[in-house]
């Protein structure tokens, strides 16, 4: 593949021009050249871009998020202070994540009061689901919130029209990385992972399959399972935590 047709290089060149124009002078540090840093740390950009693309409700696509993330990586190269005690990779991922979040917020038309309203609604629905042990229907939600059905439907529309969700701290990509460092051989790891997935509750298996193997976002999974987007986020987090605990007990991850 030629340099001109390399998508990552094209993203880098565009991001570098903007970052070079906007970046303030950072401390002098003993780091490799910026292009070498991009080559060795591009996986951090792709990981964060994929995570946010799945949960941002289509606000920006993966290519856009990669460009923004690369700008964050280049900024990290220019501002990193080794005296702070953090490894460069940790600092870079923090800046990449921050750059993507800032860009998503620019495209988020919801006001802070509206976003607080959305969080309150999500919390109330989750509490009711926990009380019932299942997903509440609209009549139950309306009664719980002391609203008419019309007002409930309007509230759901208002709070779910535009939203993006910050990815969980732990997700399946983290588990994959842990497995890649495992001392088990690949054949044994494959068996352990299949067994661990089989031990999950059926709902957990559904969420992980739809999210990671069918590439559905949270909103789409919610439509498949007839639950709210916020509830899918909770189910996803729970499924990943349970899966990692099973793998830990099997000795596959630390």
pLDDT confidence of residue 68: 92
Per-residue pLDDT tens digits for 28-45: 446 788 889 988 999 889
Backbone angles phi, psi at 164, to 5 degrees: -130, 150
Domain final residue, candidates 76, 106, 136: 106
Contact 244, 170 (CB under 8 A): yes
State whether 194 and 239 are in the same domain.
yes
Per-residue pLDDT tens digits for 91-108: 888 889 888 888 887 776
Residue 110's nearest CA partner among 166, 167, 55, 164 is 164
Per-residue pLDDT tens digits for 149-163: 888 888 777 665 444
Contact 211, 243 (CB under 8 A): no
Backbone angles phi, psi at 232, to 5 degrees: -60, -40
State whether 93 and 36 are in the same domain.
yes
State whether 100 and 12 are in the same domain.
yes
Please spell the DSSP secondary structure of 104-151, one letter per residue: HHHT----HHHHHHHHHHHHHHHHHHHHHTS---HHHHHHHHT--HHH
Q: Distance of CA 158 to CAs 33, 152, 155, 232, Å? A: 47, 10, 5, 18
Q: What is the pLDDT of the chain when averaged over all its residues? A: 75
Single pTM value for the model? 0.47
Least confident residue range of 16-20, 48-52, 181-185: 16-20
What does the radius of gyration of the chain's CA atoms come to, in whole angstroms?
A: 21
Q: CA neighbours within 13 Å on the CB side: how many for 131? A: 10
- DSSP run (H or E) holding 158: helix 149-160
Task: Name the residue range of residue 228's domain.
Answer: 172-249
The domain tally of the chain equals 3
Q: What is the CATH number of the domain that holds 47?
A: 1.20.120.1810
> d(Cα 49, Cα 41) in Å, to the nearest integer?
13
> d(Cα 131, Cα 245) in Å, to the nearest integer?
25
Strands (E), 171-223: none
State whether 92 and 144 are in the same domain.
no
Domain final residue, candidates 126, 160, 194: 160
């Amino acid at each position: 593949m030629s340099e001109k047709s390399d998508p990552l290089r094209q993203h880098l060149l565009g991001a570098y021009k903007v970052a070079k124009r906007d970046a303030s002078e950072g401390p002098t540090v003993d780091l490799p050249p910026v292009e070498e840093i991009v080559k060795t740390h591009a996986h951090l950009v792709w990981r964060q871009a994929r995570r946010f693309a799945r949960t941002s409700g289509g606000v920006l696509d993966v290519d856009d998020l990669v460009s923004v993330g690369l700008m964050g990586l280049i900024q990290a190269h220019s501002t990193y202070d080794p005296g702070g005690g953090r490894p460069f990779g940790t600092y870079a991922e923090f800046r990449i994540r921050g750059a993507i979040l800032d860009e998503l917020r620019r495209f988020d038309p919801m006001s802070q009061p509206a976003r607080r309203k959305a969080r309150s609604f999500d919390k109330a629905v989750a509490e009711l689901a926990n009380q019932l042990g299942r997903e509440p229907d609209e009549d139950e939600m309306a009664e719980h919130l002391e609203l008419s059905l019309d007002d409930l439907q309007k509230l759901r529309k208002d709070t779910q029209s535009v939203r993006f969700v910050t990815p969980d701290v732990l997700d399946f990509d983290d588990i994959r990385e842990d497995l890649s460092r495992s001392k088990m051989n690949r054949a044994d790891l494959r068996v352990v992972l299949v067994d661990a997935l089989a031990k999950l509750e059926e709902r957990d298996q559904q969420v992980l399959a739809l999210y990671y193997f069918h590439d559905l976002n949270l909103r789409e999974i919610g439509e498949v399972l007839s639950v709210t987007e916020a509830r899918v986020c909770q189910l996803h987090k729970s499924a990943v935590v349970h899966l990692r605990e099973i793998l830990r007990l099997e000795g596959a991850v630390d």
